């Protein structure tokens, strides 16, 4: 195939991402039981670290009650920073955690930091993540890593349902379903925290009744007829069955960026 034919390859655009070397970063820290003020302090510390590296950064507003999914959704409302850093870390980040994520996001939509660990811990992670890789075709090993960076437009396209740490799996599962590019890069160890209260309930809800599209805005016509209980303006706040019939997420081939000649 000639070079001119390669340039016209229709798949090129899908696998190409515009670099974001100077993009601003919104920092979202998922809350722990101590309360939202601790999350706010952690977000401000991360923002300072980003600023010292030359990045414009802002900490998201304090977490709202209701779980991790609602915290992240509320943080994205009105967000304009092209990059969203999401973490549940208990320990301070370092440049060694940030650098690989910021480099990798230039070639993908979502990047997860695979934390350095002992052989036994690596085996446990692999076994613990095996069911989710089989069910959702997730292309990462450290599924609950607290080191995550996302492009705003791609993360905003994912309706979130989980209140617990199952959010880590849900985001990657729906990103895989949508054909987003996902990468996993090595980072130093970093302890994360969990929110296990409704983990299995979240899994059942996402698997059996996945929300894959956000409700469209109702037409701005005061004379528009209401179409019954599910008509415009009466949709479920969570975008449930009004958007799309419930069905399990289908397995799609994962598209990690480092397997596509991007890394």
Domain 23-205+248-259, architecture per CATH: Alpha-Beta Complex (3.90)
| Span 38-44, average pLDDT | 82
What pLDDT was estimated at residue 73?
92
3-class SS string, the chain: CCHHHHHCCCCHHHHCCCCCCCCCEEEEECCCCCCHHHHHHHHHHHHHHHHHCCCCEEECCCCCCCCHHHHHHHHHCCCCCCEEEEECECCCCCHHHHHHHHHHHHHCCEEEEEECCCHHHHHHHHHHHHHHHHHHCCCCCCCCCCCEEEEHHHHHCCCCCCCCCCHHHHHHHHHHHCCCCEEEEEECCCCECCCCCCHHHHHHHHHHCCCCCCCCCCCCCCCCCCCCCCCCCCCCCCCCCCCCCCCCCCCCCCCEHHHCCCC
In this prediction, residues 166-191 reach a mean pLDDT of: 96
- pTM listed for this prediction: 0.78
Q: Once rounded to an integer, what is the mean pLDDT over residues 246-260?
A: 52
Sketch the domain layout of the chain as residue ranges: 23-205+248-259
pLDDT 10s digits, 102-125: 999 999 999 999 999 999 999 999
């Amino acid at each position: 195939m000639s070079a001119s034919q390669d340039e016209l390859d229709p798949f090129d655009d899908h696998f190409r991402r515009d670099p974001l070397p100077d993009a601003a970063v919104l920092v979202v820290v998922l809350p722990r039981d101590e309360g939202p003020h601790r999350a706010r302090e952690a977000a401000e510390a991360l923002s300072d670290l980003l600023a010292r590296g030359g990045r414009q950064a802002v900490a998201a507003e304090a977490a709202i009650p209701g779980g991790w999914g609602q915290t992240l959704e509320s943080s994205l409302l009105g967000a304009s920073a092209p990059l969203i850093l999401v973490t549940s870390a208990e320990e301070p980040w370092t440049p060694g955690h940030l650098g690989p994520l910021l480099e990798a996001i230039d070639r993908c939509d979502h990047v997860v930091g695979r934390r350095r660990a002992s052989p036994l811990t690596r085996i446990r992670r692999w076994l613990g993540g095996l069911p989710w890789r089989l069910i959702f075709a997730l292309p990462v090993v450290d599924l609950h890593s607290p080191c995550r960076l996302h492009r705003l437009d791609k993360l905003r396209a994912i309706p979130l349902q989980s209140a617990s740490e199952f959010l880590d799996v849900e985001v990657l599962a729906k990103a895989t379903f949508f054909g987003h590019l996902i990468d996993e890069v090595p980072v130093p160890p970093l302890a994360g925290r969990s929110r296990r209260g409704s983990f299995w309930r979240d899994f059942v809800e996402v698997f059996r009744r996945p929300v894959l599209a956000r409700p469209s805005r109702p037409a701005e016509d005061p004379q528009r007829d209401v179409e019954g209980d599910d008509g415009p303006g009466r949709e479920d706040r969570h975008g449930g069955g009004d958007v799309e019939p419930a069905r399990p997420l289908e397995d799609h081939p994962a598209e990690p960026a480092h397997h596509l000649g991007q890394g």
